[in-house]
Amino acid sequence: MELPPAQFPSRRAAAVAVAFLRYRRGGPGRALRLRELRRARTEDIKDVGHKYYLELELEDVLDKDSTVNCTAEVLYHLGNKNIAPDVQFTLEGELKSTEEADHVFYTRIRSLEKELVAENIPDSHGHVPPELEPLHLLAWVASGYLVWQNSTENTQLQLAQIKHVKQVRRSDEYLQFDYLVLLHEMVSQEIIPWEMTVLWHPRDGVRVTRESRQPGHTSG
């Protein structure tokens, strides 16, 4: 069944697809976001769940003129809400290489004398210091994993802010950052604190190795 792209069921499914895609293809030098949802179709699969077929146009946050088309499928499972939706995607064309920027970031962090620590990114006025921008993007990319894993047809999750980030030195070649992020859930309007451990290497991409939802945000 064809769905109007403006209506929220297709937009929520698109958000999940993009979050997953951002996680799989992103890094400190690349974060993809949705520019336009071109088409959406839904299918009710008996005893399985709701499947959405999407045609998306994505753009690179760091280079808005660089767009890429994409088709994606999102399957929300019936019943058990603890199972993440299944997401598959196909990108049309190549993404620009971020090899150079990745290398610069990697060497800079590896050569730090003291482990990097930062908080409130962006700050209250939306400002991110330029040297922390890769850390900001990395969090946004990694939060795609959290969004994907925790989405249902009745939620719409976004990264609201990095509350705290701490670099953890490792003996292997990976960079590790322990984040406390705040996610914004649009339907309930709640702010949800979430801890996540993020590993990254220019060759391997981003991996969330540990994540833990924290108790409520309302400070009263």
Q: How far is the CB of 112 from another protein (least distance, A)?
A: 26
Q: How far is the CB of 161 from another protein (least distance, A)?
A: 6
**Residue 136 or 198 with smaller CB distance to another protein:** 136
Residue 152 DSSP class: -
Query: What is the contact surface with another protein in residues (CB under 8 A)?
Result: 6-8, 11, 15, 33-34, 36, 61, 122-128, 156, 158-161, 182, 184, 186-191, 216-220
Q: How far is the CB of 11 from another protein (least distance, A)?
A: 8
**Residue 38 or 201 with smaller CB distance to another protein:** 38
3-state secondary structure (DSSP) of residue 19: helix
Strand order, beta sheet including 2-3: 2-3, 32-45, 49-60, 63-77, 86-92
Q: How far is the CB of 174 from another protein (least distance, A)?
A: 27
Nearest CA to 148 out of 74, 41, 58, 69 is that of 74
**Residue 171 or 218 with smaller CB distance to another protein:** 218
Residue 204 backbone dihedrals phi, psi, to 5 degrees: -100, -15
**Residue 168 or 195 with smaller CB distance to another protein:** 195
Residues 6+ apart with CB under 8 A from 132: 118, 121
**Residue 6 or 92 with smaller CB distance to another protein:** 6
Q: How far is the CB of 176 from another protein (least distance, A)?
A: 25
Return d(Cα 55, Cα 77) in angstroms, integer. Answer: 21
